[in-house]
Amino acid sequence: MLFFLPLSPYQANAVPDFGKYTKELKTLIDEADHILLICHINPDGDAVGAMLALRRWILYNGKDPGMISPNALQKFLLWMEDVDRVLDFHHNIEAGTAMINEADLIIMVDFNSTSRMGKAEPLVIASKAKKVMIDHHPDPTQFADLLISDVSRSSTSELVYYLVGGMGGGEFSDPDYITAVYVGIITDTGNFEHGYYSGDTMRTVGHLLDMGVDKERVFNHIFSNFSADRIRLKGFALHNRMVVHPELHTAYIWLTKEDLDKFNHEKGDTEGFANTLLTMRGIVLSVLFVERSGFVKMSLRSKSTFNANELSRRCFNGGGHRNAAGGEMKGSIEEVVEHFEKTLPLFREELEAAAGELMK
Ligand code: 5GP
Ligand code: MN
C-alpha cells in the first residue's frame, strides 16, 4: 500500500488520511517479530534522532528493534542514549547482514532513495521483510510497502512524533524519546535558523519542553561542542578557501585532504560551514566541497526560491531538500570545482530570481 503526501508547510494540520498511515504502521509493527530500523549513510541528527525515537516507542510496546546505520555515527551524536546499540554496517558487515536477513519488518528513516543505504542497499532490496519508509524529502522512490512521506515536516523526527501520537503515544514522555525527537528537529532546522518549520513544529517543541526535554543540554552537545582545531579549521576555510561570485549570488569553500589533516579533522567538523556563507548579503547559494579519497563530497545550502536539490541532482548526482542538499562526485577537488564553475552560470536566471525575492 502506498501513501504519499506532498504538502506545503502550511497544510501541516490538514493531513488527510493520517489515521490510515498510523493504523497501517501500527499493524505492521504489531505483526512483526523482528523489526529493524535503518537510517541513511552519514546520518545527521535527524536520521539518528528519528531512529532512536521510534525505537523507544516500539520498545515501550514490547518489542526491541535492531538499528543499523550504513556507516559510523558522527562524534557529536555519541552522547545520545542507545547510540551504542546502532550497528555501524560498514565495519560490521557480517552482523549487519544477519540482522537484515532476520528482519520481517524493515523501517527506513530520513531518506527517499535506496542508494542512501550504502553497502546495505542490495541486502535490504533483496530482503523478504515488509518495508516502510518514513521521510520528509521531496520526490521519494516508490520502493517500500508503506511509504510515509510528508515534506511539510521540519524533520523525520517531527513526523515520527506525529506518527507515535497517532498510534496512541500522544503523551509518551520517555526522556530518551523526547530528547531524540528534539535532536532531530533542532539539527534539521539549525536550531530554527533554516529549513522548513511550521506551527506544528513549534507546537511539537512546546510539548517536548512541557514534558521536560533538557534544551540546554541538547544545544550544548549539538551546537557548542567544537574542538579548538575545528574552530581554527573554520577560520582557515573562510580566510583562505572561500570563493565569492557576487554576480551569481554564490559563495563556496573548498578544502583539500591536506587542509583537513592539518587541523586534525574529525567527522562532522565541517558541519555548518556552508550555512555560514549564506549569512553573506546577496548570497543565495553556498557550497562546501570537501576532498575525500578519489571523490569530493559537497554540501549545498540555499535561500529563498533557489533549488539546491535540483542543482545537486543535475550537477553532482545528489539530492536533498530545496534549501539543503548534498552530493558527491569522482575526481580531484580541482576537477570537481572546475565542473561546478562551468555549470553554475547555467543557473544564473534562477539565482538572480532567488536573490530578487530576498530583496523584496
Ligand atoms: P548535508 O549537506 O547536511 O550532508 O546534507 C543536506 C541534505 O542533503 C540532507 O537532507 C541529506 O539527506 C541530503 N544529502 C546529502 N548528501 C547527499 C547525497 O549524496 N545524495 C542525496 N540524494 N542526498 C544527499
Ligand atoms: Mn531529515
Q: pLDDT tens-digit profile of 224-278?
A: 999 999 999 999 999 999 999 999 999 999 999 999 999 999 988 999 999 999 9
Residues 66 and 360: their CA atoms lie apart, in Å, by 49
Q: List the beta bridge partners of residue 9.
A: none
Share of the chain above pLDDT 90, in %: 91
Say how many Å lie between the CA of residue 320 and the centre of ligand 1.
5
CATH 3.30.420.40 fits 229-359, yes or no: no
Say how many Å lie between the CA of residue 198 and the centre of ligand 2.
15
Q: List the beta bridge partners of residue 330.
A: 295
Compute the mean pLDDT over every residue in the chain, rounded to the nearest whole number: 94
Residue 18: the pLDDT is 84
Domain boundaries along the sequence of the chain: 4-223, 229-359
Best of 76, 117, 299 for a ligand 1 pocket test (most atoms within 8 Å of beta carbon): 299
Mean pLDDT along residues 120-134: 98
Q: List the beta bridge partners of residue 224.
A: none
Say how many Å lie between the CA of residue 195 and the centre of ligand 2.
10
8 Å CB contact between 132 and 58? no
8 Å CB contact between 355 and 285? no
Ligand 1 neighbours by CB, cut-off 6 Å: 40, 44, 299, 318-321, 324-328
- Tell me the per-residue pLDDT of 174-187, one tens digit each, with 9 for 90 and over: 999 999 999 999 99
Nearest-CA residue for ligand 1 atom 13 is 320
Neighbours of 85 (CB within 10 A): 12
At the fourth CATH level, the homologous superfamily of domain 4-223 is inorganic pyrophosphatase (n-terminal core) (3.90.1640.10)
Nearest-CA residue for ligand 1 atom 17 is 326
